[in-house]
């Protein structure tokens, strides 16, 4: 291959690496938008990062607040909340609360309070219901679970479990709408107190009509933006090179031609006993 051919391949590779970044960022934004539109914002890059890094401190807030309810202090709904949550895994409750908030607010930027609290309460109820079924008849539970496809959603699983266990005379006493709202509201308050990510806002919806809605705070929107910005910086499509890669040395990284793409996929290297790079 002559020099002109080499230069042609290098030029093609440089253009290719630019397109790798553009295509990757387009895919990232498309996946994010689609997930939000389908009420699955918790599955996005920013949703997963926020859940992973913050569920522990939200769970701690729930635990601390529940201690007050145990002592008979707290809100007027303390007895209801304590009754249903006293024996639950609060890490799971925290995860559910955060996930529902991400999913609802990702699609609807200004939901009313009940549009958050009731889904939170129902999601927690579903978790407790499945735990109840498992403890009541482990064999039946495993038998039903084995028939689910890996893509089967929680809602569908809940319906199937309920039908099968009802058939066996094992029934779950469904929570009232009020109970779901009380528990969801308490969890939402704990989340808001701990993170400051959600706040109430009064908006005008017509002549002399106002509505109280829930919105993300600027703090949360800034966090979301920072996570997505970092994801865009690191995103690239791992397409094969059309020219030989740059050589690795002790001083310079090799591989792709552009530093931006190199940073997206760093190579892990270790030092040998004599200090040389392996």
Instruction: Please state, in angstroms and rounded to a whole number, the distance separating the CA atoms of residues 150 and 161.
Output: 16
- Burial (CB < 10 A; 0-12, 13-18, 19+), residue 30, is exposed
- Burial (CB < 10 A; 0-12, 13-18, 19+), residue 212, is exposed
pLDDT band at residue 275 under the 50/70/90 scheme: very low
271 has a pLDDT exceeding 80: no
* Residue 51: both structure tokens together: 């859940």
Residue entry with tokens 């498992």: 134
Average the pLDDT over 70-74 and give the result. Answer: 64
Q: Higher model confidence: residue 202 or residue 273?
A: 202
Stretch among 136-150, 153-167, 203-217 having the lowest mean pLDDT: 203-217
Instruction: Please state, in angstroms and rounded to a whole number, the distance separating the CA atoms of residues 238 and 21.
Output: 10
Residue entry with tokens 């808001």: 192
Stretch among 129-143, 203-217, 256-270 having the lowest mean pLDDT: 256-270
81 has a pLDDT exceeding 70: yes
Helix (H, G, I), strand (E, B) or coil at 17: helix
Cα distances (Å, whole numbers) of residue 178 to 107, 119, 183: 24, 12, 9
pTM of the predicted model as reported, rounded to 2 decimal places: 0.81
Instruction: Please state, in angstroms and rounded to a whole number, the distance separating the CA atoms of residues 198 and 54.
Output: 14
Q: Higher model confidence: residue 72 or residue 59?
A: 59
Stretch among 40-49, 67-76, 179-188 having the lowest mean pLDDT: 67-76
Task: Look at residue 2 in the predicted model and tell me its pLDDT.
Answer: 58
* CATH of region 3-241: 1.10.1320.10
Instruction: Please state, in angstroms and rounded to a whole number, the distance separating the CA atoms of residues 116 and 190.
Output: 13
181 has a pLDDT exceeding 50: yes
pLDDT band at residue 42 under the 50/70/90 scheme: very high
Task: Look at residue 277 in the predicted model and tell me its pLDDT.
Answer: 43
Instruction: Please state, in angstroms and rounded to a whole number, the distance separating the CA atoms of residues 62 and 54.
Output: 13
CB 84 within 8 A of CB 115: no
By residue count, the chain amounts to: 278
Mind listing the pLDDT tens digit for each residue in 221-270?
Answer: 999 999 999 898 888 877 788 788 777 877 777 777 777 677 665 554 44
Helix (H, G, I), strand (E, B) or coil at 255: strand
Q: Over the chain, what is the mean pLDDT? A: 86
- Burial (CB < 10 A; 0-12, 13-18, 19+), residue 107, is middle
185 has a pLDDT exceeding 80: yes
DSSP 258-269: SHHHHHHSPPP-
Instruction: Please state, in angstroms and rounded to a whole number, the distance separating the CA atoms of residues 63 and 264.
Output: 39
Q: Where in the chain is the domain with CATH 1.10.1320.10?
A: 3-241
CB 104 within 8 A of CB 111: yes
Q: Higher model confidence: residue 147 or residue 205?
A: 147
52 has a pLDDT exceeding 70: yes
1 has a pLDDT exceeding 70: no
């Amino acid at each position: 291959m002559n020099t002109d051919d080499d230069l042609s391949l290098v030029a093609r590779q440089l253009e290719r690496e630019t397109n790798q970044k553009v295509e990757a960022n387009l895919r990232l934004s498309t996946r994010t938008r689609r997930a939000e539109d389908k009420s699955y914002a918790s599955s996005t890059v920013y949703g997963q990062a926020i859940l992973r890094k913050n569920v522990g401190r939200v769970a701690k807030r729930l635990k601390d607040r529940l201690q007050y309810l145990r002592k008979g202090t707290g809100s007027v709904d303390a007895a209801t909340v304590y009754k249903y949550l006293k024996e639950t895994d609060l890490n799971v409750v925290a995860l559910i609360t955060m996930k529902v908030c991400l999913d609802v607010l990702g699609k609807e930027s200004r939901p009313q309070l009940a549009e958050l609290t009731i889904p939170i309460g129902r999601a927690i109820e579903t978790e407790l219901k499945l735990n109840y079924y498992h403890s009541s008849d482990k064999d039946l539970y495993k038998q039903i679970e084995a028939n689910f496809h890996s893509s089967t959603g929680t809602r569908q699983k809940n319906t199937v479990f309920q039908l099968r266990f009802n058939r066996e005379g094992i029934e779950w006493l469904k929570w009232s709408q009020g109970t779901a709202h009380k528990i969801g509201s308490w969890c939402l308050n704990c989340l808001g107190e701990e993170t400051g990510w959600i706040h109430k806002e009064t908006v005008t919806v017509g002549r002399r009509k106002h509505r109280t809605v829930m919105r993300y705070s600027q703090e949360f929107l800034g966090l979301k933006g920072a996570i997505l910005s970092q994801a865009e910086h690191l995103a690239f499509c791992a397409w094969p090179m059309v020219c030989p890669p740059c050589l690795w040395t002790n001083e310079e990284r090799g591989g792709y031609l552009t530093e931006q793409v190199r940073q997206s996929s760093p190579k892990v290297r270790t030092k040998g006993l004599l200090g040389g790079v392996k």
